């Protein structure tokens, strides 16, 4: 079964808007939470990652929020651009050396 | 950043033939590589973990005699789909772990079995 639950399955956002993708997990041993961006026909690329010792991490327009007690984390894409249209996967592992467990993915479409 | 190269990017083969996909880490040594399978509009499913110089560790439900993995050097792992059938058609992706623990993904290989 999916160890990391991701929602929504897809979302459409206007250019300049905020895209929000949520993930939840059960395994409290997970302590590394990366987000990947995948374009059609390409492999995933690491966007940003967080560890449980911080509640938020920001890199450019991408922000991860982490709620350890709720076992949830989310990706916010600020000022969404058409070039951000892609599928986003959250993932989790026990340490950055552990096997990654991927969420189901969210297809984001940013309209002009 | 580090680059992981997969070859071929696309392959079409006849049912019953075997296909080999290569995964190379171009500018770092990878003691561990992973192979994933991805169906359209679905997530990545880990097939196996490949460690240099030792046998691959397969995930539950993955046939090791069907999907042969060889990690002969610190920069190369290969996945061979033996006696391929149409249901093996999929997008196969490898990833390689650098010495610092960071994971880099290849561009993927689309296999179509006729």
Per residue in A18-48, pLDDT tens?
999 999 999 999 999 999 999 999 999 999 9
**10 Å Cβ neighbour count for B46?**
17
* Nearest residue to A90 via CA among A27, A42, A21, A30: A21
Kindly state the DSSP code that residue A54 receives in the 8-state scheme.
-
Inform me whether the pLDDT recorded for B1 exceeds 70.
no
Chain segment B26-67, per-residue pLDDT in tens: 999 998 999 999 999 899 999 999 988 888 999 999 999 999
* β-bridge pairing B10-13 and B109-113: parallel
Chain B residues closer than 8 Å to A97 by CB: 97, 101
Please give the pLDDT value at position B46: 94
Please give the pLDDT value at position B100: 81
* Nearest residue to B58 via CA among B43, B71, B47: B47
Please indicate if any CB of chain A lies within 8 Å of the CB of B107: yes
* Burial state string for B17-34 with b = 16 or more CB within 10 A and e = fewer than 16: eebebbbbbeebebebbb
**From CA A68, how far away is CA A71, in angstroms rounded?**
5
Please indicate if any CB of chain B lies within 8 Å of the CB of A108: no
Angle at the Cα of B20 from the Cα atoms of A100 and B81, rounded to 5 degrees = 70
CA distance A46 to chain B (A): 8
């Amino acid at each position: 079964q999916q160890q990391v639950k991701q929602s929504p399955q897809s979302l459409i956002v206007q250019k300049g808007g905020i895209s929000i993708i949520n993930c939840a997990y059960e395994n409290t041993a997970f302590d590394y939470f990366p987000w990947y961006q995948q374009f059609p026909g390409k492999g995933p690329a690491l966007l940003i990652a967080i560890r449980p010792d911080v509640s938020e991490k920001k890199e450019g327009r991408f922000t991860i929020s982490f709620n350890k007690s709720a076992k949830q984390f989310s990706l916010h894409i600020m000022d969404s651009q058409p070039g951000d249209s892609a599928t986003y996967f959250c993932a989790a592992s026990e340490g950055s050396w552990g096997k990654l467990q991927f969420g189901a993915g969210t297809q984001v479409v940013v309209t002009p | 950043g580090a680059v992981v190269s997969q070859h071929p990017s696309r392959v079409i083969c006849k049912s019953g033939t075997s296909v080999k996909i290569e995964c190379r880490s171009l500018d770092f040594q990878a003691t561990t590589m992973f192979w994933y399978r991805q169906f359209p509009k679905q997530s990545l499913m880990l097939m196996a973990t490949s460690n240099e110089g030792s046998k691959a560790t397969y995930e539950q439900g993955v046939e090791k005699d069907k999907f042969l993995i060889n990690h002969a050097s610190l920069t190369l792992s290969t996945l061979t789909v033996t006696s391929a059938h149409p249901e093996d058609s999929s997008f196969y992706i490898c990833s390689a772990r650098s010495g610092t623990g960071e994971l880099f993904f290849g561009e993927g290989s689309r296999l179509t079995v006729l």
